[in-house]
């Protein structure tokens, strides 16, 4: 289970990261380790692809992280990104919601299907 902590919206020294939790069979959470720190604004919306990578919004575009938390790339857009979503028949289009614009691009990966 991943959560975005946007505490920096309330305090300049607040957290701006994604945390990773383990969910036990009984639903109890453990862990809560920091998976990724945001260096440009705040993370907000994020999605996972079928390889377990996280695609997340940030002030300088979309950041993509490997399952181990390594930043593997960024998609730069000229405005702050609020959210992202995979779409299309194969979920291989990434839609990016900017401050005033909606962007879309085809990727060589597929997003995880929503339950």
pTM for the whole structure: 0.89
Partners of residue 93 on adjacent β-strands: 87, 106
Which tokens in the block code for residue 38? Answer: 């945001």
Q: Give percent of the chain above pLDDT 90.
A: 77
Q: Token pair 């005033």 is at which residue?
A: 100
Which residue in this structure is represented by tokens 């377990």? 52
Sketch the domain layout of the chain as residue ranges. Answer: 2-106
Q: Given 1.20.1250, 3.30.420, 2.40.10, 3.30.70, which CATH number is that of 2-106?
A: 2.40.10
Torsion angle, alpha carbons of 59, 77, 34, 15, to 10: 0
Coil/strand/helix, residue 31: strand
Q: Are strands 54-58 and 46-48 parallel, antiparallel or unpaired?
A: antiparallel
Classify 8 as helix, strand or coil.
helix
Paired with 110 in beta bridges are: none
96 touches 104 (CB < 8 A): yes
**Residue 6 pLDDT > 90:** no
Tell me, what's the pLDDT at 5? 84
pLDDT at position 12, please? 77
């Amino acid at each position: 289970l991943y959560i975005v902590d946007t505490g920096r919206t309330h305090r300049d020294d607040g957290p701006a990261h994604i945390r990773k939790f383990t969910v036990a069979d009984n639903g109890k959470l453990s862990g809560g380790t920091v998976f990724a720190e945001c260096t440009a604004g705040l993370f907000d919306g994020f999605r996972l692809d079928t390889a377990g990578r996280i695609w997340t919004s940030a002030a300088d575009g979309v950041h993509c992280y490997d399952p181990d938390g390594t930043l593997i790339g960024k998609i730069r857009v000229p405005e702050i990104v609020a959210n992202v979503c995979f779409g299309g028949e194969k979920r291989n289009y990434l839609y990016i919601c900017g401050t005033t614009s909606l962007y879309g691009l085809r990727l060589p990966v597929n997003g995880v299907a929503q339950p």
